Amino acid sequence: MSLIAHLTELRNRILKAGLAILVATAISFWWYGHGLGEFIRAPYCGLPEELRYGGDDAGGCGLLITNVFGGVFIRLKVAFLAGVVLSAPFWLYQLWAFITPGLKRKEKRYGVAFVAVSSTLFALGAVLAYVSLSAGLELLLSLAGDGVVVALTAQDYIGFVLSLLVAFGVSFEVPLIAVALNLAGVLSYEVLSKSRRWIFFLTIVFAAFVTPTQDPFTMLLMAGPMIVLFELAIQLARVVDRRRARRAAAEHFHDLDDDVASPLDARPSDLDEPAERAPSARG
């Protein structure tokens, strides 16, 4: 394909992906008033009554809106992010369909595996963040002490929830980068093993910067699973490097310099002897 053809193909793929996100966002906008909003507010509503604002209901869990367009912007923000997630299979397919023609068969297998694993890790990170959200909120809000009325605005709370879900989901993807670099031959198991302490230390620093609240509870909740995933990545790199070393040893070329020709026999092999002709009828 020519450059213009590639650009045309890319434009068509982007338009299809954008249309899918737009439709999913419209559906999520309607869904917000039919269950999605309650799902996002559930961790807040599960707090003790003294840590949440009741609104017009003594046992309620109201969130404050301090400006006229606050409700619209919140609903649009949630609908857009939910639309991106719901339409992910379609726009990921468009991206994959654009890249696939330039990949080899082995690279296609790796690509499918990485898309599946990365999606799973992102979902696991988001689920962990949501499950632990109530405990984190209770700890943080209770530190205000007695005599303080806690009344969260809808913009602050929903922004906090969404940023926490995204931060946890993205952080669970980071160890996968080490696996990808190892499979590409850029990062070896030996380097990862020697750098294990630094990797774990930098993981804690990364969690401290990425978490929206920077509190110790959320930081450790993110850093703990990331350290486990990094250790799994290191062990996977060890297996990959061992298989790579066995293949290199079987080929007997691993000890040659880069500028030395491999000892392959370039002479053509002998053809099989042709089968004897059957005697003709005249013979």
Half-sphere exposure of 173 (CA within 13 A, CB side): 14
Q: pLDDT tens digits for 69-78?
A: 888 888 898 8
The rounded distance, in Å, linking the Cα atoms of 184 and 101 is 20
Residues 6+ apart with CB under 8 A from 38: none
Q: Which residue has the higher pLDDT, 138 or 108?
A: 138
Question: pTM of the prediction?
Answer: 0.71
Q: pLDDT tens digits for 61-71?
A: 778 888 888 88
pLDDT at residue 15 tops 90: yes
Minimal CA–CA distance to 174: which of 225, 105, 239, 235?
A: 225
Q: pLDDT tens digits for 145-165?
A: 666 677 788 888 888 888 888
Tokens of 90: 């379609």
pLDDT at residue 283 tops 50: no
Among the ranges given (28-37, 53-62, 87-96, 196-205), the one the predictor scored with the smallest mean pLDDT: 53-62
Of all residues in the chain, what percent carry a pLDDT higher than 70?
80
**pLDDT at position 253:** 57
Q: pLDDT tens digits for 63-120?
A: 888 888 888 888 898 899 888 888 888 887 787 777 777 667 766 777 777 778 888 8
Mean pLDDT of the chain, nearest integer:
79
φ and ψ at 3, to 5 degrees? Answer: -65, -40
**pLDDT at position 96:** 75
The rounded distance, in Å, linking the Cα atoms of 203 and 225 is 10
Rounded mean pLDDT, 197-217: 81
Q: pLDDT tens digits for 236-259?
A: 888 888 888 887 766 655 555 666
Of all residues in the chain, what percent carry a pLDDT higher than 90?
5
Using alpha carbons, list the distances in angstroms from residue 132 to 75, 80, 127, 182: 23, 24, 9, 32
Rounded mean pLDDT, 201-211: 84
Among the ranges given (54-68, 213-227, 260-274), the one the predictor scored with the smallest mean pLDDT: 260-274
For residue 153, list its beta bridge partners: 64
Q: Which residue has the higher pLDDT, 213 or 36?
A: 36
Half-sphere exposure of 224 (CA within 13 A, CB side): 8
Minimal CA–CA distance to 176: which of 109, 232, 95?
A: 232
